[in-house]
Chains A and B, each alone.
Chain A
Amino acid sequence: MADPMKIRATLQGNTADVRILMRHPMETGTRKTASGVVPIHFIQSVVVTHNGKTVIDAQWSQAVSRDPFLGLRIKDAKVGDKIGVTWTDNKGDKRTDEVTVTAGA
């Protein structure tokens, strides 16, 4: 079971600044250990929704760093809006987390 993501969504004007930190090994399939090559294991797809509507649909390769970070901005957001993030990796593992937009400084 995948670890939960850390998501922060703060309102700046009427734009939500969203920062997502996922927990994932993001193995490239080229790394070696004493017991051989570590099999490839990475997040392929990340979908970010705003009140249920998709705003960003990302496709990734293994070149994204371990414990991936994704920052994005969502237009016309309000405090209390729901931001959902779902990732799927190449082994079919999935994780969805949801936060609400909070007022920014």
Chain B
Amino acid sequence: MKNLRRDFLKLSVGICATAAAATIGLLKTGAAWAATWNKEGFESKAAADAQKSLGATTLIDSKDITITAPDIAENGAIVPVAVTSKIPNTQSISIIAEKNPFPLAASFDISAGGEAYISTRLKMGQTSNVRAIVKADGKFYTAIKEVKVTVGGCG
């Protein structure tokens, strides 16, 4: 009985990892996706890799990027995050939740007609930094904000 319970616990702990592996399998079979979807970035498990996949090798800290998110998010399944960039010629805004199983959450390409502002809601597994990466004139700017998560939104 005791052993069973152990195994079950192990299974639950390992679930994020195993499901992740299953996910990749699934993703590979569903081949016909939009060509622009950053497969490498969305499947990376480390924030640094996700950042690299965006082409952002060097990041410049910027005060012109505002991340609007709660200091404490009670429900990790719905964390409202808004990013505003005052940097001229902002081309894209990406959001990375650093400690999520897959940190890169979303990436927005902004054309001339759109303002450098986006607002959405994310799932966060645990307390972590939310990083915004803004691409403007070929350079990458960044800002971070810590969001404390009381109840994780992973599963």
| Whole-angstrom CA separation of A91 from B23 in the bound complex | 13
Given known A44-B33, A45-B34, contact A72–B23 (CB-CB < 8 A): no
Given known A55-B111, A90-B33, contact A64–B155 (CB-CB < 8 A): no
Question: Which residues on B sit within 8 Å (CB–CB) of A56?
Answer: 108-111, 114, 118
Beta-carbon contact of B154 and A30 below 8 Å: yes
Beta-carbon contact of A29 and B34 below 8 Å: no
Q: Count A interface residues, CB 8 Å.
A: 41
Question: Which residues on A sit within 8 Å (CB–CB) of B27?
Answer: 40, 90
Q: How far, in Å, is A81 (CB) from chain B's closest CB?
A: 10
| Whole-angstrom CA separation of A45 from B23 in the bound complex | 18
Tell me whether B48 is interfacial, beta carbon within 8 Å: no
Beta-carbon contact of A57 and B97 below 8 Å: no
Interface of B is mostly: mixed
User: How many cross-chain pairs have Cβ atoms below 8 Å apart between A and B?
Assistant: 144
Mark A residues whose CB is within 8 Å of B.
15, 26, 28-32, 37, 39-40, 44-45, 48, 50, 53-66, 68-76, 88, 90-92
20 A-B pairs besides A59-B109, A69-B119, A92-B32 with CB distance below 8 A are: A15-B115, A30-B19, A31-B155, A37-B19, A40-B26, A45-B37, A55-B110, A55-B113, A56-B109, A57-B109, A58-B108, A59-B106, A60-B106, A62-B23, A65-B120, A69-B121, A70-B120, A71-B120, A73-B117, A75-B115
